[in-house]
């Protein structure tokens, strides 16, 4: 297994973990831990895609990571909507 495959596998596993935790109600989407898991997973998947020069996924995962990080700066993070 190559370095890019290892990094990509870890990243995708984290993304799937966050999705599974959300679906089962164990960690609702938008909570700080969920955002962190998504940001880290997408960031790793982005790095992996960059390493193999697969540009569509560099963009996809880069945006996913950026949106997850931006969620930390959203007002009322983890609170109920107004």
Q: What are phi and psi of 2, to 5 degrees?
A: -80, 165
Alpha carbon distance 48, 36 (integer Å) = 18
Q: What is the pLDDT along the chain (82 residues), one digit of tens a residue?
A: 999 999 999 999 999 999 999 999 999 888 899 999 999 999 999 999 999 999 999 999 999 999 999 998 887 655 555 4
Task: Return the domain boundaries, the chain.
Answer: 3-73
Structure tokens at 14: 């984290």
pLDDT of residue 76: 65
pLDDT of residue 73: 86
pLDDT of residue 79: 53
Task: Please say whether the beta carbons of 38 and 18 come within 8 A.
Answer: yes
Terminal C-alpha separation, the chain: 48
């Amino acid at each position: 297994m190559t370095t890019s495959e290892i990094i990509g596998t870890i990243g995708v596993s984290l993304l799937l973990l966050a999705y599974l935790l959300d679906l089962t109600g164990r960690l609702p989407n938008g909570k700080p831990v969920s955002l962190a898991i998504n940001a880290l997973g997408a960031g790793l998947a982005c790095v992996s895609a960059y390493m193999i020069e697969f540009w569509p996924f560099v963009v996809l995962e880069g945006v996913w990571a950026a949106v997850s990080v931006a969620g930390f700066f959203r007002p009322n993070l983890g609170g109920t909507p107004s």
